[in-house]
Structure formats: C-alpha cells, structure tokens
Structure 1
Amino acid sequence: MSRRNRGTTFVNNVRGPTSALTSFLNERGIRRANPAPVPTPSPPRTPANEQEEEQQQAEEELNGGTEASSSSRPTRTARLTRGRTVSSAARASATTSVSVDVGGASDEDDEDDDKDEDEDEEVDLVPITVTMRSTRSTRTRTTATSRSSVATASRVTVATASSSTTGPSAASASKKRPRKKDVSDDSNDEDFHDITGYVSRSNFSHKGRMPQGSNKIEFCSRCRGRFTVKAGTMPAVDEDTGGILCSSCAGASSASNATPASKPVKRPRRKAQKAEIESQVPSLQDLCIQKIASCIEDVEAFGDISDISLDKICRIICRNRSLTTDTVQLFLDSRNMDLRLYDCTDITADGLRNIAQFCPNLRSLTLTLCGRINNDVMNYYADQLSDLTSFSLVGPILITDAAYIKLFEAVGDKFERFELKSSSRFSVKALEALCEKCPNLTHLRLSDCNLMDDDWLTPIATLKHLTSLRLRNPECDRLTTESIVKLIQAVGSNLEELELKGCTSLEDAVLLDGIRANCARLQRLNIMDCEEFTTEGIATLFKDWSLNRGLAYLNLENCVMLKDEALIAVTEHSGVTLDTLSIKGMDEITKDALLTLALCENLTHLDASWCRAMDDEVLEQLVKAAPKLKKVMVWGDHRLTECCPTKQGLKIVGREGDYIDLRFF
C-alpha cells in the first residue's frame, strides 16, 4: 500500500488506515450491500411473463429432467435469482451500464457450494433475464442521474456461460469495462474530499503546521514526492487545493512567496579554524618534497639539496614505510655529518652496514626501529665511525654487551650523547664500560631497558659532565628512592634536564633531598606517572625555591594525588618561565587553582586533559594572559564549551563538538 493512500476516513465513523481499494470504492460512491438481500416484490403477472415461464419450462424438459431428479435443495441458479428479479427497465439499465463478469460469484455462495455440486448444477442462462452482483473489478463510474438504478444493479452479479460471452452484448460490455486503477494514478483530491470527507493522514497531522526547531519531511500534494521543509521556513501552498508544494512544483512564483530561511548561527571559532587551514598553503619546496617522496623508488639521486629538505623527505618515506635497503642509498653521502633514519624496519643488516661504508665522517647517527642490526654491524661501526659523538638506537634486540663495549672503546673521550631504548641485552657491564671509556658524556637516556636496577646508578654517578639524564620506565620497584637521591646528589649540580618517567616507587624524598637541594640549573623536569609524589612534596619543592630560577618544562601527568596547593606553588615559582606544562589527569584540581595559570604569561603549550574543573572562564583568563599560547589539550574537560574565547593561531584540541583536523596533532 502506497504511503499517500494511507489516511483516516470518517465516512463510517471509523478512524484508521484505509487501503487503496477502500479509498477507490469510497471515492466512486460504491457501498457494501447488505448481507441478506431484501427481496423485491414480484411484478404483476402479464401475458409476457406467462410466455417467458412457458419457454423456461420447455427448456428444462429438453435437459432431460436433470434438475427434477436432483435433491430437494434449491439449485445454484435458483438461489442466485431468488428474490432478485427486477423490472425490465432496471434490467435494461443494468445491462447497458454494468459490465459482465463471466462466472463471477460472491464469496458467500462459494462457501455454501462444493466443487462437485457446481459441476453437476451447470445451467445455461440468458444474460438479459438474470442479473447478479458485480465483483470488485467490474465496478464502473456512474453519473448522478443513473446512480439510483446502478446502486440496485451493482448488488447482483451476471454469471453467463462461455458461449453467451461471445455475443454482441458481451463485446460491448467488455469495451465499457474500466481499466484497473494504477497505484500511481491519482484521483482528484478535491472531488475526493467533497464526496467522502477523506483526509490524508500526513495532511491531517501536519498540514498547515510550521516546523518546530528541526527539519520536517512532507509530501507534495501535486507530485506526491517527498521533500524536506527546513526549520524556520514556510513551504509554498497550492492555491487550488491548499496542499503543500515542493520547490519544483511551486515554481519561481511560489518560491518567491516562501518565507526566507533563517540562517544558522555560524561559530566564529570554526570559521577561524577554516581560515587558518586554508591559509596554510604549502610552499613550492614542500610540494616538490612530497612529490619526490611519493616517487622515491624511481629517484636515482637527490643532487644538491639542503639537510633540512633531506630530513623532510626521510620523514615522509619512513611514515609511508618506503625506506628500504635500496632507497636508503639516496641518503648516504660522504659529506653527511648527521643522519637520522626514522624507520629501519625494512633495512637489512647489509643496508645498515652501508651507512658506515658510504658515510665515514658521521658524527651523529640515529637509527629508529633497528631490529636487524647485529654485532657484526656494530663492530663495523666501531672500525669505521671513529668521529662518532652521538649515537641513538631504538629497538636493537640483537646486540650484546661485547659489541657495545667495543664501540665505546673506539669512540672514547669524544663520545657525548648516548640513547638506548627498548633493549633487553644491555647490562650493567656495558654501562660501566660506557661511563669509564666515555667520561665526557653529557646526555644519557636509557628507556625501557629490562635489566635496569639500582646497580646501574652507581656508574652513572661518576659522570661529572652530565647535563641531561633520562631514566624511563624501569621494571617495577627496580629503582628505589635512596639510590635516586644519591645519584642526584652526585650529578645534580650540572643537570639541566631530569626525567624519571614511570618510576612509580619514588617518594617525596627525591623531590626534597635530591632535586630541591642540588638541581640549581634544572630547567626541564618530567615526573610523569610518579604516583607516590604527594601534594606536600610538590608544594615544598617549589615554595621558596630560591636555588632555582624557574623551570621551562614541567610534566606532572598522572600524578593523581596532587591537589590545589601543588599547582599554586608551581605557578607562583615558575609561572614566568614556564613554556610547556602538563597537568593531565590531575582530577583533584579545582577551578581556583586553575585560575592561577594566568600567571604563566610565556606559556606556549598546555595539556589540561581530564582536569574536570577546566571551563570557559579559566581558558579565557589564560588566553588573555599568555599571548604566546599555541596549543591547549583539553580532552575530557566537559565544562569547556565551544563558546570559550580563542584567538588566531591557538589550537584547542579535545573540546567536545569541535571540528578536529589531523594537522592539529
């Protein structure tokens, strides 16, 4: 059933969905006949009627008395014609205006008669003398003048034999038979309303109503097509029927009468973001670099390009996993002093060996994800790279202590920076060789080393020139508070960077006895995931810390026990010097403490994710106080809305409902 034919009818005081057939019958004025037909009085007997009865009896005698020998039950013809004899005038009207249905019978008659009885009681009837109820498919349109006679004739169906349908009367009736109504053939709605009072359900429910706050779906009264009515607009109305019209049916004249749509309020923040993104047009150099990186396998040589451009190409092809043993040759040159390969996964041991062969003058080498490097390659580096001063390895799982010791002995006093990450074979023996053979080491970064424990801190304490120390993610409880305090007391006077990320067992003594008393030159402090540090320890560290002039970088991420006093002490001591601050996960911080961030006037990066008290007022004060602010992370801060003020060049990442662009990360 099509949607447009569903509706509510009030013809019989029954409200509910109506079918297409019921709507069609109601439209044509056809009603259901009474179950028990009212017998009509027989006409007075005339000589013509007597002659017809005698002719009928003669026909029955010719049939051999079959009907006389049947049971006392009346025949089908008698049941159909009992009480349904009409006058000759009505009979003629029914013959000319009602179509003939061959073999048609009512459902009630089919239920009373069996199949065998129908075959035995087959009779030949004259079409003019007998009229029966017409079926649904033989209903025809009637005029107002003949409606009364057709209503009487429509309650009887004409059933004739196959031989009688070939006559001229049957031919004329078949020509007048109306075609079956198609689903898409719409009737005149105006006449339909006038006759039956039928109103479409959609028109009954929503006709003449204005959309409230959201878009609505309506149906055009002319083309029956679906269309959307936007919130705040009035659709065009048909002047003839009063129905709603779509834009195509309304035309230019109706569209001009429609109420103009109210423009949605555009957020200036999104407009600023869009303008900022569109303004970031890549330079010609960047476009060339991207093109070269996409066709790196077809490039034979780079020629004369700067080290910065070479590093950009390397980053792009490493991100695309296109750095292989063949493509790495493009970055190897005897003039190179610094080489960084950001993904060495697909470079074999021979390809890594070629680095020392083609770049013998290297001073700084960084190999990330170098799982294929082995002892032979390290020994070759020790022989060829005699000028190496900085060496960084990420993921060297095959190198043993012997190869490390040989390299440290080869580089000697010139070695200044060593970084090792994700190694399970580097032991305290190799670390002792490093501290002994390379006493001028200034940067030492050991991360995710499974064998790291308190024994490692003793040789590190001998490095008197150490300015940067990173000890990340040791095994649980491998580094204790006492050993860390002794290490900081030994090397803290020159430290500018200290990172104790993931040292979960450290307590406040590290802050008070170690950092506060010895780290006068400290500028960068990372105590991320140090859950045992308390509010009193942090507050005591920064309160009246006259030995230190202020930190430029501070990471307090996931220090969940810290409260307002800790953040207030930080902003009062280092508010002027702080460049980057992370207070992610400090859920106990209140709005009063966050308002003190306005003291950080030189702040450029802030991570305040999962600080539930962060709201529009706090960020507004920070934006006004810190003109250099570039990026703010606010993941999980549900009180921060899109109405908070911003400025050009500031990226707010993580706010609910924001348009997030990947370039923000």
Structure 2
Amino acid sequence: MPHFLASHNISAAQIHNDYQRRLQDAQQQEQQNAQNAAQNGGDAEDSEDDPVEQKKRKRKEEKTLMKIKQSKEFKKRKFEQQQDLGSDFEQDDDELARSMLKKSQPLPGQLENCEICGKRFTVTPYSKTGPDGGLLCTKCSKELKDEEKKESRDNKKKTAAPRGRRRQTESDRLMGDVKPGAKSLVDICVRRVANVVHDIEEFGDMPQSLLDRLSQILSKERVLTPRVLELFLRPDVDRIDIYDCAKLEEEDFQKIFAHMPDVEFVNLRFAGQMKDGPLLYMADKCKRVRHLQLGATNLVTDKAWADMFQKLGPQLESLKLSELNDSLGDDIVKVLVKSCRGLRRLKLRSCSHMGEDSVDALCSLTNLEHLTLAVAQQETSSATLVKLISSLGHNLRTLCLEEYVELNDSVLEAIKESCHKLTKLRIRGSVICSDAAFASLFDNNLGNPPLIYADLSDNRDIDSMNPDGPEDNPIGLGSGALKALMTHSGSRLERLNLKACRHISHAGLMEVFDGVKQYPALKDIDLSFVTQVDDVVMNGIFKTCPALAKLAVFACFNARQARIPAGIAVVGLPNAQDSVVIGEW
C-alpha cells in the first residue's frame, strides 16, 4: 500500500493538509453565511451585489429565520431567557433567531461530537437533532427514533382508552348505572367472562344471579349462539333466562328442556325459531314449570298452544306472552282461561289476534294479582275494560293498560272504586281521559295505598288544531293530576314516567318540584317531551329527590345548563357529563 501511494505522489502529510484546508474553507463559508444573514435592510442598499441577488438573499434569510422561530429549540431558548432574566424582559424574536443562526449546526462533511454518547462522527444531511439541539450519531439517532415510535404508540393507547370508556359509560348511563369510582370486582369478572365466552368450556358452580347477568350481557352483544347456550344448561338449576334467542334453532330449544327436566322458570325472548315440537316436548317432560315467558314464538300453532295450556295450565302461576302475530286468537284465550285457573300474574302484549271476546274471557281469572294488557286496542270498548277491572280489581296489585283508544274517564273511575291494593299503575296512550279524572284517581280520602311505580306517559290531547287542548277541562294528564299524584304517592313513589304529557305547565312542575318538598324514595323519572321542563325545574328535581339515580329529558330543549349532581344519570341531554358537579352540590 505505501508503494502504491508513493507511486501516485500521495503522502500522509498531504492527506492531512487537504483535510485541514477543507475544514478551514467550511468554517469560513459558515462565518460568511452568518454575516450575510445578520445584514439588515439598510446595509443591503450599500452592497455592491446585484439587486436581484439582494432580494434572493433577503428572502432566503427570512425563510431561514421563520424556520428557526417555528422550531422547538427556539421556543425552549426563549422560555429559558424569560425564566433567567424575568418575565419583564422582552427580546426581539428576530434577534434571538439570528443569534441561533450564528450558532448553527455544523455543515455536512464536518466532524461533530454526539450530544448523547459523545462519540465523534461525520455530519451528514440526515443527522438527527438531539433533545438539547445538538446532533446525534447514527446509533443514537436510531435509538431516539425507536423511543419516539414507542411513545407515540403509548399516546395513541392513552387517547383511545377514554373514548372506549366514554362509550361504555354512556351505555351504563342509559341503564341508570352511574356509581362513581371503579366497578365492583364481581361486575368486572362477569364482563371479562362475557368477553372470552367462546373460549370457556363451562361456568362451573356460578350462582344464578351471575348467570342471569351473563345472559343479559351476551344477549345485548348478540353473541348467544348454540355453542354458548350449552354453558347455561345445567340440570341442577331450576330456571333458564335467555334474553335473545334469535340465533337458536328448533333443536336448541328442545335441548334446553332435555337437559333441564326440573326447570321451573322458563324465560325465552325473541324465540322466533321455536315451533310446536319443543313447546309440546316441554309440556310432556318438564312437569315442574310454574312460570313461563315466551316472546315472538310466531311459528307455534294454535293447536300446540291449546295442548300446552291443557297440560301445564293447572300448575302455571305466571304467564307472559308477547309479539304473537299469527296465533292466540279468542278461542285459544278461552282455553287459557279455562285451563290456567291458578294464574296470579298474566302479561299479554302485542298479541294481534286477541279481540274484545278475549278481554271479556279474562274476567273469570279472579286470582290474578298482576295484569298487563296491550292487545286488541282498536276493538276493546270502555265497557269491557270497566267489567274487567270491576271483576279483578279487588285483588290486583299491578295493573297495566296500554294504548287502549277507548279508555275513558269511566275506566279511571272503575280503577278508583275497585283497585284498593295497587302499588304499580300504568295507563298509557289515552287521548280522551281528562286531567280531572286522573286527579280524582289519586284522592287521599279513599284510603288507597301510595303507588311505588307510576307510568302515565303519552296521555295527552292529539288535536293538531288545538295542541294545548281545551282550557276548561284539559285532556290527558296535566298539572292537576300531577299535583294529586305526588301528594298521594310522593312518600313512597320510586319510579315516575310522564313522557309526552305535554299539558303539564311550568307552574305545575315548579309547585311539585320546588326544592322544599321531599320525595325520599324517587329514583327514576322520565320527563321526555315535556317541553316545559327547563334548568330551573331540573334543579328543583335534584333538590326535591335526594335518592334520584336517573332522569330522562329527551327533547326538553329548554334544559341545557342545569348543574347535575354527581351520581345522577341524565339521559337525553347533550353533553350532560360536562355539567356534572363534583363534591358539594
């Protein structure tokens, strides 16, 4: 090698001298650039350069200074100077930027020490700037880049988590679950099991309350498949609750009754694939069924219903059927009444083929304590409803009549005279009952016990030409009825639904929820579409109802700025969580 260099007139001294010359040239060029950048507008007029070059150099200088002003290092140095010299000291941004330009980083090809490790390296156009403004070697640049990527991923996780939690929080708010702090250990475990349910082989000896909670979560997530159903089939359990059977087939229903012959409580919702076979199999094999609830079983024929009532009817204590559009006509209802004499709870909703004869036949079920009817609304007269209430009212503790267009003041009078044990009352969708009749229903002089649950929603006049209703005798539930209800039942009332009762005045609401009266048991209120509700009314509700957990105010457009106490779920109000007051209200 030395011979090769010598043959080409190259020596070590020459290499060193060439390097030193390049280094001095680079330093001189750097100093010259700094001097050019420091020149102001007045100096440019005395320059011997061409005016076009002056403009180019000035634009380049301004562009360079602008980049420096936008850099993190510039902001950091400006902040440090203010800290060192005091907040009263102000330095021109251009002056600071020019001083930083004079101390600019080495040019590519020059040597520099790494800011982090101190290693000597050759500067390139791709050399990365360190945290303090110095340059980094290749190794430290790579390590810093990896750290920034990791930090970026962590920040994404941190920002994504609150959005996920907020969605779950809003879902819980709709369910009335707004307990502050972390969830209970049991709830966390149940949710975790629900998330990995497809990897679980069996639930073991899980108590019935947790099985029911799991069924609710899985039904809500629409993941209750035949494979998941097998986890709930235990011969030592006396009840089965499946809230969404949409993904189950006919053989799955038969499997339920085959694995659980001693079942007493059957609750199968949205069981669209259940047919005659599984229903009759249950009637033959499950001799201990006492409580039966089926929903949307539209493939079951009238003959199968009649056979099931005849076999299981004598032992049934509660029966709940809903969403039946192709069966359960008047003749089958008469079979039900004849066979199920011991019924104490009956709920029939959305059974399209039930007519007035069906309602009339139910009058002979004198042992009923709980009755819910939302069927044959267009065909049932008020006289038939009065007969039904007069026959059964003496023993009823729960009465629900929904969407009966012929329900009038005479029906309310029958409830007032016959039902002396009611703790739950639901009258929905009346368009002809008067406010005076509703108010008379809650007369304290009758001695009727206070209600615990009152649902009087959608009772209002629907005359579009006179939306406020007649002034002399208001139609629907109005201010007078609300005052009478709260005077009668306010001490024990827990749930109140007044949705769409638009004839309640603002003065009436303020008199009931004045912030002085106390309704100690009231936990759930629905005032959606009651347009007179505003911030003042809401604040009065919060002060009047110390146990309140959930308040629904959909379409109450005058309520936007109310201060919401912590622990209360207000649904229907945009950005309600931003108005929550933490601490003393």
Fold similarity call, TM over 0.5: yes
Q: RMSD between aligned alpha carbons?
A: 3.3
- The equivalent residue for 2:78 is 250
Question: Aligned-pair distance for 1:142?
Answer: 6.8
**1:184–1:318 distance in 2 versus 1, CA, 3 Å:** farther
Question: Aligned-pair distance for 1:613?
Answer: 2.7
Give the secondary-structure state (helix, strand or coil) at the position aligned to 1:550: coil
2:425 aligned to 525, 541, 550, which one?
525
Question: Aligned-pair distance for 1:629?
Answer: 1.8
**1:251–1:498 distance in 2 versus 1, CA, 3 Å:** same
2:480 aligned to 565, 586, 590, which one?
565
- Residues 352-431 of structure 1: matches in 2 within 5 Å? 352-424=253-325, 425-431=327-333
Conserved in 2, the CA contact under 8 Å of 1:369 and 1:396? yes
Question: Aligned-pair distance for 1:465?
Answer: 0.6
**Aligned partner of 1:578: which letter?**
L
Q: For the residues of structure 2 that align with 1:511 and 1:362, how far apart are their CA atoms?
A: 40
Give the secondary-structure state (helix, strand or coil) at the position aligned to 1:525: strand
Whether 1:323 and 2:258 are equivalent positions in the alignment is: no
- The equivalent residue for 2:405 is 504
Question: Aligned-pair distance for 1:545?
Answer: 5.0
Q: For the residues of structure 1 that align with 2:57 and 2:302, how far apart are their CA atoms?
A: 89
Q: For the residues of structure 2 that align with 1:629 and 1:567, how far apart are their CA atoms?
A: 18
- The equivalent residue for 2:568 is 650
**1:303–1:182 distance in 2 versus 1, CA, 3 Å:** farther
- Residues 188-587 of structure 1: matches in 2 within 5 Å? 223=68, 225=70, 247-248=75-76, 250-254=78-82, 257=87, 279-424=180-325, 425-472=327-374, 474-512=375-413, 514-560=414-460, 561-587=476-502
**Aligned partner of 2:551: which letter?**
V
**1:564–1:226 distance in 2 versus 1, CA, 3 Å:** farther
Question: Aligned-pair distance for 1:548?
Answer: 1.2
Gaps of 5+ in 2: 1-39, 90-165, 171-176, 461-475, 580-585
Give the secondary-structure state (helix, strand or coil) at the position aligned to 1:636: coil
Bigger mean CA deviation after superposition, 407-416 or 583-592: 583-592
- The equivalent residue for 1:614 is 533
Bigger mean CA deviation after superposition, 390-399 or 531-540: 531-540
How big is each residue's C-alpha offset from its partner over 1:482-540, in whole Å with a ceiling of 9 and x where there is no partner?
A: 1111110111111111111122331111101x201100111111112222222122122
Conserved in 1, the CA contact under 8 Å of 2:442 and 2:485? yes
Question: Aligned-pair distance for 1:226?
Answer: 10
Q: For the residues of structure 1 that align with 2:456 and 2:490, how far apart are their CA atoms?
A: 15
Question: Aligned-pair distance for 1:438?
Answer: 1.2
Conserved in 2, the CA contact under 8 Å of 1:374 and 1:399? yes
Give the secondary-structure state (helix, strand or coil) at the position aligned to 1:386: coil
**Aligned partner of 1:284: which letter?**
L
**1:258–1:307 distance in 2 versus 1, CA, 3 Å:** farther
Question: Aligned-pair distance for 1:599?
Answer: 5.1
**Aligned partner of 1:250: which letter?**
K
Q: For the residues of structure 2 that align with 1:307 and 1:570, how far apart are their CA atoms?
A: 38
Question: Aligned-pair distance for 1:329?
Answer: 1.3
Give the secondary-structure state (helix, strand or coil) at the position aligned to 2:60: coil
Question: Aligned-pair distance for 1:250?
Answer: 2.3
Whether 1:185 and 2:13 are equivalent positions in the alignment is: no
**1:601–1:309 distance in 2 versus 1, CA, 3 Å:** closer
Conserved in 1, the CA contact under 8 Å of 2:178 and 2:567? no
Question: Aligned-pair distance for 1:28?
Answer: 7.8
**1:277–1:225 distance in 2 versus 1, CA, 3 Å:** farther
Whether 1:635 and 2:554 are equivalent positions in the alignment is: yes
- The equivalent residue for 2:468 is none
**1:437–1:257 distance in 2 versus 1, CA, 3 Å:** same
Question: Aligned-pair distance for 1:376?
Answer: 1.0
1:596 aligned to 509, 512, 518, which one?
512
Q: For the residues of structure 2 that align with 1:374 and 1:182, how far apart are their CA atoms?
A: 88
Conserved in 1, the CA contact under 8 Å of 2:179 and 2:567? no
Question: Aligned-pair distance for 1:366?
Answer: 0.5
Give the secondary-structure state (helix, strand or coil) at the position aligned to 2:576: coil
Q: For the residues of structure 1 that align with 2:222 and 2:364, how far apart are their CA atoms?
A: 41
Conserved in 2, the CA contact under 8 Å of 1:525 and 1:551? yes
How big is each residue's C-alpha offset from its partner over 1:177-222, in whole Å with a ceiling of 9 and x where there is no partner?
A: 9499389723499xxxxxxxxxxxxxxxxxxxxxxxxxxxxxx977
**1:591–1:183 distance in 2 versus 1, CA, 3 Å:** farther
Higher helix share: 2
Give the secondary-structure state (helix, strand or coil) at the position aligned to 1:611: coil
Question: Aligned-pair distance for 1:567?
Answer: 1.2
Q: For the residues of structure 1 that align with 2:246 and 2:320, how far apart are their CA atoms?
A: 19
Question: Aligned-pair distance for 1:280?
Answer: 3.4
Q: For the residues of structure 2 that align with 1:188 and 1:284, how far apart are their CA atoms?
A: 60
How big is each residue's C-alpha offset from its partner over 1:242-290, in whole Å with a ceiling of 9 and x where there is no partner?
A: xxx984462322366289xxxxxxxxxx9xx99x979432333333322
Question: Aligned-pair distance for 1:557?
Answer: 1.3
Q: For the residues of structure 2 that align with 1:508 and 1:607, how far apart are their CA atoms?
A: 24
Q: For the residues of structure 1 that align with 2:526 and 2:439, how far apart are their CA atoms?
A: 20
Conserved in 1, the CA contact under 8 Å of 2:272 and 2:296? yes
Q: For the residues of structure 1 that align with 2:523 and 2:454, how far apart are their CA atoms?
A: 12
Conserved in 1, the CA contact under 8 Å of 2:494 and 2:523? yes
Q: For the residues of structure 1 that align with 2:76 and 2:541, how far apart are their CA atoms?
A: 53
Conserved in 2, the CA contact under 8 Å of 1:447 and 1:471? yes
Q: For the residues of structure 1 that align with 2:179 and 2:68, how far apart are their CA atoms?
A: 43
**1:638–1:605 distance in 2 versus 1, CA, 3 Å:** same
**1:441–1:580 distance in 2 versus 1, CA, 3 Å:** same
Question: Aligned-pair distance for 1:592?
Answer: 2.4
Q: For the residues of structure 2 that align with 1:368 and 1:146, how far apart are their CA atoms?
A: 93
**Aligned partner of 1:332: which letter?**
L
- Residues 94-113 of structure 1: matches in 2 within 5 Å? none
Give the secondary-structure state (helix, strand or coil) at the position aligned to 1:391: strand
Give the secondary-structure state (helix, strand or coil) at the position aligned to 1:326: helix
Conserved in 2, the CA contact under 8 Å of 1:452 and 1:478? no
TM-score, L = length of structure 2: 0.68
**1:530–1:599 distance in 2 versus 1, CA, 3 Å:** farther
Conserved in 2, the CA contact under 8 Å of 1:543 and 1:569? yes
Question: Aligned-pair distance for 1:648?
Answer: 4.2
Question: Aligned-pair distance for 1:383?
Answer: 0.5
Bigger mean CA deviation after superposition, 291-300 or 491-500: 291-300
Give the secondary-structure state (helix, strand or coil) at the position aligned to 1:610: coil
Identical columns (%): 24
Q: For the residues of structure 1 that align with 2:420 and 2:228, how far apart are their CA atoms?
A: 47
Bigger mean CA deviation after superposition, 529-538 or 455-464: 529-538
